[in-house]
Amino acid sequence: MSESKTDTPEYQLGQAETERLRQLEQAYLARPRVSIRVRIVAGFLLCFFLLAITGLVNLVILYQARSKLHFLDVTQSLSLQIQRASHFAQLGFPDETNLETAAASARSAFDLFLQESAQVMGATGEQSLSLLNYQMGHYVQLLDDGLALAKAGTASAGDAQALDRQIEAAGADLLDLLRTMKARQASEADRVLSISQKLPFVFAAVMLLIIFWIAGLLAGAVTDSLRRLEESTRRIAAGDFTLMNPKRRYHDEFSDLSLAVNRMLLELRARDLQVMKADRLAGVGMVTTGFARQVSASFDTIAQYITSFLERCPGARECERCGLLGAWSAEMQRGKETIASLLEFILEDESVLSPVNLRSLVESSRHLLEGQMEQAHVTFANQIPPDMPCVWGAPNQLRHVFLNLFQNAIQAMPRGGTLSVNAALLAGHQASVTVSDQGGGIAPEDLAHIFDPSFTTKDTTKGTGLGLSISYGLVKRHGGDMYADSLVGRGTTVHITLPLSG
């Protein structure tokens, strides 16, 4: 008893279509995977990265602005100290008190400069820092020299005047340098602050452009894939089951969906062929019904003639020819019973549920396959007890189940064997029916899939892989269950449970 071996509808479409599907799947899967989720996350990460850059640039600009403003404060303090030193230095030379005050102010300015040298260099640069350091040191040195001469009292009038001019010129140069640096840094501070005001708007505009670009890319990828799927659904609705070809250089979730659609298309084509076949079988059934009725009527007429002849023949029991006529009559009665089973199978309403005698149902199914059993040298053993209670179901649907199981069993025993059917009562108001054969059995890896649609271990010319799947569905619809166990080389047994009537 065997059903299985492929999850693609090769039974209808052949190896070419299946190979085409496999090639398309390989073409999809061979391309690098770029998930839509990854692209969305990458887009958000890019936006976050740009925001981080924007914040970092703003911090740098604000730091520069703060440094320049701090430098302005420092230069203001230095200018005040230098102006105070210049003022006391000009009050009179060589007045020791005034020179001490001027030197103290200059030294205080120089100490402040040294303390803030790092901030000053960050704002003005190393060259300006060196120049300011030199001039301030030179100015402090001149004041110290003047104070030393004033304390010693040995300086001549000419030397005092020359030193006074040097101190005055050095102070003026130092104040000019501070004013120049202060004006330049004030201008740069204004420029930096202006940039810091405009920069957020510039970055916001850039961010909007990038967001729109990312959104356009994602929307284009999604809408293009959806458009292709929409076109495919329209083709399918129009009856065109052509497989979808890969278009992108990568694959994503929509590619996986396209693979699923391709497999669905192949299944739809197989189902379409099944429907066409069922339609042809329906037409054959109508013709067969009329033909069977005519043959049955002819059998009745011939049987009546034979019976009438035998009744009139005085030596019918001893007559050899009369014995042959009796055998013909028995065979015609057997043929009539087969035709009656066939008509019952064709004409019975499948939706009507009623009590079903399992033994009679199995026997009528055997009648329909009797010729196949004789040809395959299969012995049939109906071991269902005569007093077995009826089950509740649609007779024709259950007959379809047993016909399928019997055909599978016959095909599983090409060299002959015994096909046995047994039944027993189960707890829970159910009946158990077993159909066993003495065939080659089913491999363990295939046994779990025998009820899957389109799964078959037979040659594609002998089965579609739908028989057991349909039978399983019919049994489940009756509120029962169906499973199988098998030993390779020993045979297969299918177990069916059905609810009892009443």
Quickly list DSSP for 285-309: HHHHHHHHHHHHHHHHHHHHHHHHH
CA neighbours closer than 13 Å in the CB half-sphere of residue 353 = 12
Residues 118 and 68 grouped into a single domain = yes
Summarize pLDDT for 400-458 with one digit per residue, the tens: 889 889 988 998 898 899 999 999 999 889 999 999 999 988 888 888 778 776 556 66
Same domain, 67 and 198: yes
Instruction: From 199, 178, 268, 190, select the one nearest 54 (Cα to Cα).
Output: 199
Domain co-membership, 184 together with 114? yes
Which whole number is the average pLDDT over 259-287?
Answer: 65
Residues 204 and 60 in one domain: yes
**pLDDT score for 2:** 43
Q: Is 219 exposed, middle or buried (0-12, 13-18, 19+ CB in 10 A)?
A: exposed
Rounded CA gap, 215 and 222, in Å? 10
Residues 43 and 180 in one domain: yes
The domain that contains 155 carries what CATH number?
Answer: 1.20.120
- Tens of pLDDT, residue by residue over 297-341, are 777 777 777 777 767 676 656 676 666 666 667 667 666 666 665
Residue 235 lies in a domain: no
The residue from 219, 253, 283 where one domain ends is 219
Torsion angles phi and psi, residue 42, rounded to 5: -60, -40
What is the per-residue pLDDT across 468-486, written as a single tens digit (0 to 9) for each?
877 888 888 888 999 999 8
d(CA 254, CA 220): 13
Residue 55: inside a domain: yes
Confidence band of 3 (pLDDT split at 50, 70, 90): very low
- The boundaries of the domain holding residue 82 are 38-219
Whether residue 25 is predicted with pLDDT greater than 50 in this model: the reply is: yes
Structure tokens at 254: 């929509």
Residue 247: inside a domain:
no
C-alpha–C-alpha distance, residues 74 and 93, integer Å: 29
**CA pair distance 496, 480, nearest whole angstrom:** 7
Number of domains making up the chain: 3
Last residue of a domain, one of 347, 379, 409: 347
Check whether residue 285 and residue 162 sit in a common domain: no
Asked if the structure places residue 236 within a domain, the reply is: no
Q: Is 315 exposed, middle or buried (0-12, 13-18, 19+ CB in 10 A)?
A: exposed
User: Looking at the structure, do residues 61 and 18 belong to the same domain, yes or no?
Assistant: no
Same-domain check for residues 286 and 315:
yes
pLDDT at 334: 64
Q: Which residues of 185-198 are buried (b: 16+ CB within 10 A; e: fewer)?
A: beebbeebbeebee
Query: What are φ and ψ of residue 156, in 5° steps?
Result: -75, 165
CATH of the domain at 394: 3.30.565.10
- Where a domain ends, among 289, 312, 347? 347
46 and 186 inside one domain: yes
> How many helices and strands (H and E) does the chain possess?
13, 7
Which range among 73-82, 130-139, 234-243, 477-486 shows the weakest confidence by mean pLDDT? Answer: 234-243
Which amino acid is it at 221? A
Residue 9 lies in a domain: yes
What mean pLDDT do residues 196-203 have? 79
Q: Is residue 229 part of a domain?
A: no
Are the beta carbons of 185 and 124 closer than 8 angstroms?
A: yes
Q: Say yes or no: 107 and 188 in one domain.
A: yes
- Same domain as 366, residue 319: no
Q: Give the model's confidence band at 285: pLDDT under 50 very low, under 70 low, under 90 confident, else very high.
A: low
Rounded mean pLDDT of 62-82?
Answer: 82
- Produce one character per residue of 5-16: b if its CB has 16 or more CB atoms within 10 Å, e if not: bbebbbbbbeee
Residue for token digits 């040659």? 459
User: Looking at the structure, do residues 362 and 472 belong to the same domain, yes or no?
Assistant: yes
Give the containing element (helix H, strand E) for 198. helix 157-237
Residue 334 lies in a domain: yes
In a domain, 228, yes or no: no
